[in-house]
Each structure stands twice: as C-alpha cells, then as structure tokens.
Homo-oligomer: A and B are copies of this chain.
Amino acid sequence: MSHSHDHSHDHTHTHETPNTKEKFLERLKEQGFKLTGKRRTIVDILLEEDRYISAKDLLELLKIQFPRLSFDTVYRNLHLLKEERLIEESVFGDGGSKFRIACDANHHHHHFICTVCGRTQLVEGCPMDALQLETPAGFHIETHRFEIFGHCADCCQSSL
C-alpha cells in the first residue's frame, strides 16, 4: 500500500518520484472521497502544470473539458486537496493565492518561486535550522513561512 506499483503508463513526467497521478488519487480514495472526473482532472492539471497557478487559471484549464464548471467546485476541491496535503498554497505579492501540486508531502521544504510563471525550485535547508533562533521567552512557535520570489531563468529570458 505504501509502495504502490506506479510504473503505469509512462507520463510526460520523467522522474519516478512519488508524484504519480495514481498515488494522489489513491490517497483521496483511502480517505473515502469519491474520484470524480473533475477531481481526477484537477489533479491531472496540477501535476501537468507543476507550478503555482491561481484558482482562476485552474478553472480556465478545467473549462476546456468541463465548460460548465465554476469557481465553487474548484475551491471546494482545492480546499479538500489542501487538507489532504496534496497541494501547497502560497500567497503571492499581489495578495492572490496560488496553488501547486505538493512536491513532497512528507519532506519539509521551501521554494524559490517565479512570480511570472509560478514555477518553483527547492531551497536547500530551512531557516529554522540554519538560524540559531532565540525564541522569545514564552513564545510558542506554530508555523513559519519562507519563500524566495523572483524571475526564473526562462522568464528572465522572455523579458529581454
């Protein structure tokens, strides 16, 4: 159950990381959620995109296959997927939320994020380890947020 045989039909994705469609869908099924066509397609698209996109962009992509789909379903599924830790959310500079398929739900990480295309790169290490933190007396840490924003190589190019 943990090491599912995900050598299915080879995808556009080359790496044999845990990010296979089947694994994601299995996780949902295990939790008792139904694998509807829309839900499958959302996971498909997010895997395919492999970058941060807005709910609006996601809806647009979904409408190709499901013209009548609207925001409510998108958001409901985004919430669900986030709860199940299958996607990651980040608030961009303009205040808008964007979402990407979870890189690795089990491994804590941070990202370089391209503010143009939403593509990401892993950051080596975590500031909570690297900084010798002097936590204020009595302060109880819950979460932290560390993100590096900029232009990726491709988007630097295209802005020339």
Residue A152 is within 8 A (CB to CB) of chain B in the complex: yes
A134 CA to B97 CA, complexed, in Å = 26
Would A139 and B150 be within 8 Å (CB), given that A91-B91, A95-B91, A95-B97 are in contact?
A: yes
Which chain B residues lie closer than 8 Å to A157 at the CB level? 138
Chain B residues positioned under 8 Å from A138 (CB to CB): 152-154, 156-157
Is A127 an interface residue, CB under 8 A from the partner? yes
Whether A121 sits at the interface, judged by CB under 8 Å, is: yes
Q: How many copies does the complex hold?
A: 2
Fill in one digit per residue for A125-158: 1 if any B CB lies within 8 Å of its CB, else 0: 1111011111111111111111111111110110
Task: Known pairs A126-B131, A141-B148; list 17 more (Cβ under 8 Å).
Answer: A91-B91, A91-B95, A112-B135, A112-B139, A124-B131, A136-B152, A138-B156, A138-B157, A140-B151, A140-B156, A142-B149, A142-B151, A143-B148, A143-B150, A144-B148, A145-B145, A145-B146
Interface, chain A (partner B; CB < 8 A): 91, 93, 95, 97, 112, 114-115, 121, 123-128, 130-154, 156-157
Could you write out 22 A-B pairs with CB less than 8 Å apart?
Answer: A112-B136, A112-B139, A121-B136, A121-B139, A124-B134, A125-B131, A127-B127, A127-B146, A133-B148, A138-B154, A139-B151, A140-B150, A140-B151, A141-B150, A142-B150, A142-B151, A144-B146, A144-B147, A144-B148, A145-B145, A145-B146, A145-B149
